[in-house]
Amino acid sequence: MGNIELGRVGIWTGILDSVPSAQGAEFAAEAEELGYGAIWYPEAVGRDAFVRAALLLEGTSSIKVATGIANIYARDPMTTANAQRTIEEAFPGRFLLGLGVSHAHLVQDIRRHQYSRPLSYMREYLVRMGEAVFFAHGPTDLGEMVLAALGPRMLELSAEATAGAHPYFVPPEHTAIARQVMGPDAALYPEQMAVLDTDPAAARALARQNMAMYLRMPNYINNLKRLGFEQSDIDGGPGGEPSDRLVDAIVVWGTPEQVAARVQEHLDAGADHVGVQVLADSPEATVDGWRILAPHLLG
């Protein structure tokens, strides 16, 4: 279990790159006011993950800020280690560093790095972070970290070398497997997509729209197949889109009570904290979803 207290439920969101930084800080402040324990965000080809963390932390007072995830191919290990130390010195105990190997197309095609041995690269990267020299005022030890992990070997590394894991795009069945692989003591913080709409066609349409890019990434496809989904679930649905079975497994849709029930499934399966990602048509509608869910998730 990690030392940073995230609470049972936080917000996972990809909307922060689509609004001005000041508005993003306002969104984080509202999440804090609503009572969410953490705000998670990704890193791909948008704003820098560490600069964003500093901005969000500066604009809030207690909510934890977590990268979900910072791409290890974006920085050398010393840069990552000392960026983490810099934030920890300024905002003690409020920054959780989620690290991940990202995906081949983002690493090779966009960043022009090799992606041939991501697990070994992560293992070596963590060792080099631990060796990083830091001649500045601030903590000597590294702060808390978790790894983006889906398969058993990365889950094992998460438990061995960091506080735990942050699985993404997973159903509660994966949470149960992750807990079994990592043992009882590692932190487990899965993400859960949600659509607040009780109309099946509309809810699944929005879910499919948001799932589309992930279903082009081998890491997620391979994980779904390990969980028992077939290729027909991935591309055998309407118009070559995912099946209802897969949509309903990955994205909970319906009433706030139904979203809360799915979050509880993750917690019952062994999660310590769940980052809820509200899917909506606009950033404002997403934040409205945070407001609607808060009494049901945080009560």
Tens of pLDDT along 166-213?
999 999 999 999 999 999 999 999 999 999 999 999 999 999 999 999
pLDDT at 297 (0 to 100): 98
pLDDT at 27 (0 to 100): 98
Please list the residues that pair with 192 across neighbouring strands: 276
- Per the CB < 8 A criterion, the answer to whether 41 and 277 are in contact is no
CB atoms within 10 A of CB 111: 14
pTM > 0.85: yes or no: yes
Q: Which two tokens stand for residue 4?
A: 């940073």
Q: Which two tokens stand for residue 219?
A: 């890491």
* CATH number attached to the domain at 9-195+269-297: 3.20.20.30
Q: Tell me the C-alpha distance between 92 and 128, whole Å.
A: 23
- Per the CB < 8 A criterion, the answer to whether 29 and 62 are in contact is no
- Listed in sequence order, the DSSP H helices in the chain are 21-34, 49-58, 77-90, 104, 118-130, 152-161, 172-182, 200-211, 218-226, 231-235, 244-250, 256-268, 283-297
pLDDT at 260 (0 to 100): 98
Q: Which two tokens stand for residue 156?
A: 């094992």
Residue 70 to residues 51, 96, 201, 227, Cα–Cα distance (Å): 11, 11, 34, 26
CB atoms within 10 A of CB 268: 11
The average pLDDT across 131-142 equals 96
- Per the CB < 8 A criterion, the answer to whether 243 and 236 are in contact is yes
pLDDT at 115 (0 to 100): 76
- Per the CB < 8 A criterion, the answer to whether 53 and 96 are in contact is no
- Per the CB < 8 A criterion, the answer to whether 120 and 70 are in contact is no
Residue 131 has what DSSP assignment?
Answer: T
DSSP letters, 62-93, are S-EEEES-EEGGGS-HHHHHHHHHHHHHHSTT
Burial of 80 (0-12, 13-18, 19+ CB in 10 A): buried
Tens of pLDDT along 218-247?
999 999 999 999 999 999 888 899 999 999
The average pLDDT across 47-67 equals 98
- For the chain, what is the radius of gyration of the CA atoms? 18
Average pLDDT score, the chain = 95
Q: How confident is the model at residue 123 (pLDDT cuts 50, 70, 90)?
A: very high
Does 103 score more than 90 pLDDT? no
Q: Tell me the C-alpha distance between 100 and 110, whole Å.
A: 16
How far separated are the first and last CA of the chain, in Å rounded?
23
21-34 vs 49-58: helix crossing angle, rounded to 10: 60
Q: How confident is the model at residue 113 (pLDDT cuts 50, 70, 90)?
A: confident
pLDDT at 108 (0 to 100): 65
Residues of the chain with CATH 3.20.20.30: 9-195+269-297
Tens of pLDDT along 254-295?
999 999 999 999 999 999 999 999 999 999 999 999 999 999
Length, in residues, of the chain:
299
Tens of pLDDT along 143-160?
999 999 999 999 999 999
Q: HSE of 255 in the Cβ direction (CA atoms, 13 Å)?
A: 4
Does 133 score more than 80 pLDDT? yes
* Strand pairing category for 95-100 and 70-71: parallel
pLDDT at 116 (0 to 100): 76
